Amino acid sequence: MKYWLFKSEPDEYSIDDLAAERGQVGRWDGIRNYQARNFLRDAVEEGDAVLYYHSACKVPAVVGTAEVVRAAYADPAQFDPECKYFDPKASGDKPRWYCVDIRFASRFARPVPLAEIKQNPALAEMVLVKQGRLSIQPVTAREWKTLVELGEM
């Protein structure tokens, strides 16, 4: 099992939105960054654990966890001309963009804000701290454990 941090703007798709989905399972789609796409396509697997991060909001923070329940498949939004994620260069036999399905696992007792993450020596090497804008990023087992412990305090 691998560990990941997935970022979402809470006004687009919050952890509460995921928890409200049928079966608490939702599609993680709309990724249009090649490095993040490559992680989804090539490395994220069913059973992997996800830290759910609210970004582009007043207090960006890790707010809970999820689990990958379906590995990468072609993001259907790339084929829909009515969708903001439409990509005219994508085709059914040559998709450019991928998504995964995740299941809600837990909401933290308290969000772990980015400011706190940046001040914690155990988290100083996180991709989130070093390369903040990436929407899908790997997390080490130690970083996962630290963040889950902080969120459950």
8 Å CB contact between 137 and 32: no
Q: What is the pLDDT of residues 55-72, one digit of tens each?
A: 999 999 999 999 999 999
**46-51: average pLDDT:** 98
Angstrom CA distances, 57 to 61, 67, 110, 122, stand at: 9, 23, 16, 24
pLDDT of residue 153: 80
pLDDT of residue 133: 82
8 Å CB contact between 33 and 135: yes
- Whether residue 29 has pLDDT greater than 80: yes
Angstrom CA distances, 64 to 20, 21, 105, stand at: 14, 16, 8
**131 confidence band (pLDDT: 50, 70, 90):** confident
Look up the pTM and report it: 0.94
pLDDT of residue 92: 86
Q: All domains of the chain, ordered by start, with CATH?
A: 3-151 (3.10.590.10)
Return the beta strands (E) in 24-147 as ranges. 25-28, 49-54, 61-74, 98-113, 136-139
